Chain A
Amino acid sequence: MKCRMTVGCTTIFAVLLTLTTAPAFAAVAIVAGETIQLENTLPDVRHLWVTSQDFTRINGFELKAEGACLGEICIPLKQTEDSDLFVKRDGQSWLNVTAFADKVQQAYVVDRESDVWSFGLVPQSRKAFLQSAEAPDFELKDRNGETVRLSDFRGKKVLIITWASW
């Protein structure tokens, strides 16, 4: 199928998804400037329910038997019974990624009409920076398209200067 109009194609795609995996809907999540297409979400007037893979892409927390874990930190999250954070529908597990964000104080905003959810940094991943002055790592492309990863410069002194044209 050749798609000229992005909007039209997205709509067709969303309808197809809804038909095959009802009652799931597509949404968009923005995490650290990266746009993630969420192919399946559970409809909810207030919250965003996502699959476990998308959950981890949004906040970095991985689901384990003891809960949702980020490094050493584990937040209790029962995956054996329905709760405000977890439900099972037709064999598929859904995680309430916004209720979890409230719990761990990950900031987010949503444009409900377009169903685009934008997430901020997870405070649990910020302690080394805020308390111990450890430089947070980043990965950005330089003007030549090469990946620049701050942690690749260990052993060297790095001076970062921000600026803008405006």
Chain B
Amino acid sequence: MPVWQSVYEDIDDDNFVLISAAQDTGGEKATGKIFDAAKVTYTAIIDEDHTISTLFNLVNVPSGIWIDEDGQIVRINEGTYAAKHKLGTFEFGTDAYVPAVRDWISKGADSAFVWSPEEVARNIIQRTPDAQRAEPAFKLGVYFHRQGNEDLANRWWEESQKLNPDSWNFHRQDWSFTPREATRNWYRKVQTLGDKPYYRPLGLPGEDTDTQ
């Protein structure tokens, strides 16, 4: 996030809007200090219901969406870390993403990174009927969580995970409320990925795609 703040300051273009949307049922308590520490001046949203992920068919964070002046999506993707990160031996992120964003901001539709509507449509994750039901199931869990009914919250979050096993958001959000088991749960699920990537490759030049 501090990286995005410096990118935002550096681009310094009135026609560029950066929206950072925390997909976080933990709300201000979980995310506020992170936003504060990064001293963000761009638009900061705490999206407790994961509304953005629901609308744009996203299953993981961080995810990036580029929207042009006409409201057309020109890139929609997964795993958009602003820089390379390391967590033990697990490497993730790429240094190729920020230069691509800069290229788009300066060249607009002429940027080589801009996709056609067909390419965007191909890259939108399709939802099965079960995956579609997972969305209201997750929100029902959020409703019960807000009511303080953790048993029912868990029941519906588990249902959402069953209905959409590919949603890291639904799994990791749920695990975040039992932090002691979260890492183990995550590691176990990562092991079941097989050939599937944790983040879809960005397809950017210079990107190290071997980050799983």
Contacts and interface: CB of A to CB of B under 8 A. Distances in A.
Interface residues of B, number: 78
A108 to B, nearest CB: 6
Tell which of B80, B140, B175 has the most Cβ of chain A within 10 Å.
Answer: B140
Contacts, number: 200
Nearest to B142: A33
A162 B172 contact: no
A157 to B, nearest CB: 5
Interface in A121-155: 121, 129-136, 138, 140-143, 148, 150-151, 153-155
A157 B15 contact: yes
A67 interface: no
Contact of A109 (B31, B68, B159): B159
Contact of B124 (A130, A143, A150, A151): A130
A156 B139 contact: no
Contacts of A118: 136-137, 139-140, 143
Nearest to A152: B17
A160 B136 contact: no
A120 B136 contact: yes
A136 B55 contact: yes
Contacts of B133: 107-109, 120
Interface residues of A, number: 46
Interface of A, secondary structure class, is mixed
B206 to A, nearest CB: 20
Contacts of B144: 111, 116
A69 interface: no
Nearest to B182: A166
Contacts of A33: 48-49, 51, 54, 139, 142
Greatest chain A CB density within 10 A among B68, B70, B144 is at B68
Nearest to B126: A130
Interface in A94-111: 105, 107-109, 111
Interface of A: 28, 30, 32-33, 35, 105, 107-109, 111, 114, 116, 118-121, 129-136, 138, 140-143, 148, 150-151, 153-166
Given A33-B139, A161-B63, A165-B24, 15 more contacts: A32-B54, A109-B140, A121-B132, A129-B124, A135-B72, A141-B45, A142-B43, A148-B19, A151-B71, A158-B18, A159-B101, A161-B64, A164-B176, A165-B34, A165-B176
Interface of B: 1, 4, 14-24, 26, 28, 30-32, 34-35, 43-49, 51-56, 58, 61-74, 76, 80, 101, 104-105, 108, 117, 120-121, 124, 129, 132-133, 135-137, 139-140, 142-144, 152, 156, 159, 169, 172-173, 175-176, 182
23 contacts: A32-B49, A32-B54, A33-B142, A105-B129, A120-B132, A133-B76, A133-B121, A135-B72, A135-B73, A142-B44, A143-B35, A143-B44, A151-B71, A157-B67, A158-B19, A158-B67, A159-B66, A162-B21, A163-B61, A164-B23, A164-B61, A165-B176, A166-B176
